[in-house]
Amino acid sequence: MTQYQDTVNGLSRPRLLLEAVRHALGEYNRERVLRRFLGTIAAPRPQRTVPALLAVEEMMDDARRSNDASYSPARHIEALTALIGETRLLTAEAAREAADARDCPPARASRAAGLG
């Protein structure tokens, strides 16, 4: 989880691009955007989407940096929005799992105490 979060936090993109992404995050629609970028009917879990979106965004950034005529700023904003949105979901999911693990003692401790 932190691997992807560190990678996304370490991205260096133009300020204007990131400002547009911040505004777009409020309207992020997983199913619609992931279908467009990943070609999936149902949105997969963030563990699968984040690496794929990282690759898509990297290709778009390469096109931006090389002044490729096919580069679309709007599509790049959409890809970055999806990447950040999915990374946030992944972080929240990991936090929930960590909280659940703290709240639920390991099974062998329960058995050792004669509870299981």
Alpha-helical regions (H) of the chain: 2-9, 15-24, 30-38, 46-65, 73-103, 107-112
Q: Whole domain around residue 71: which residue ranges? A: 2-112
Average pLDDT over residues 47-72: 92
The C-alpha atoms of residue 93 and residue 110 are separated, in whole angstroms, by 26
| Residues ≥6 apart with Cβ < 8 Å to 102 | none
**Whole-structure pTM over 0.85, yes or no?**
no
| 55 φ/ψ angles, rounded to the nearest 5 degrees | -65, -45
Our count of domains for the chain comes to 1
Q: Residues 64-99: pLDDT tens digits?
A: 999 999 999 999 999 999 999 998 888 887 777 777
The C-alpha atoms of residue 79 and residue 49 are separated, in whole angstroms, by 11
| Of residues 82 and 112, more confidently modeled | 82
Average pLDDT over residues 13-25: 92
pLDDT band at 5 (very low <50, low <70, confident <90, very high): confident
The angle at the Cα of 97, spanning 8 to 93, to the nearest 5 degrees, equals: 35
